[in-house]
Chains A and B, each alone.
Chain A
Amino acid sequence: DTEVTQTPKHLVMGMTNKKSLKCEQHMGHRAMYWYKQKAKKPPELMFVYSYEKLSINESVPSRFSPECPNSSLLNLHLHALQPEDSALYLCASSPDREKLFFGSGTQLSVL
């Protein structure tokens, strides 16, 4: 299995909702990443997990809460988001913390 799988592909939520984005890989990669991508912009780094420990938080607001329950799974818990948080959320994994393997993303709309 050489894929990074993200679910759901699309998500619409209200500003008072709580939702979670999920990411899964079975390539044995020990580094996992969350990026946020607005339309026509490059991906922006949010969080990095290395060996299931949070190694980087790019000053992301606390309404985004990452979780790495095991080496294959990465979650991003969302609560009280704002409309400006609408974006494509990309998960990636890496065998060496250099080459990234991306999923297809979750397109999030906050109403």
Chain B
Amino acid sequence: DIQMTQSPSTLSASVGDRVTITCRASQSVSKWLAWYQQKPGKAPKLLIYKASSLESGVPSRFRGSGSGTEFTLTISSLQPDDVATYYCQEYNSYSWTFGLGTRVEIK
């Protein structure tokens, strides 16, 4: 099974800061990597698919990059509405694997 290592587990930054979350796969998942935002009591919201494609309606301050085993989600200018937990997900294999999540807080 593919393992997804996501870091950091918690991140505290100021409004306007650039924020980066990293996800590393134990084997290549090619471009089949998604990023989700989840707020308490809500379903995960798709932000990025195929590693770098922005889902319709998602603000352009969210950017995904990477391929193979190393991936990054960048928020170019952190906003109060971005407080949430973020998950990476590989969907290259039949059994999807998720990172453990990164909780993003405002300092």
- Binding partners A and B: no
Residue numbers of A with Cβ under 8 A of B are none
Residue numbers of B with Cβ under 8 A of A are none
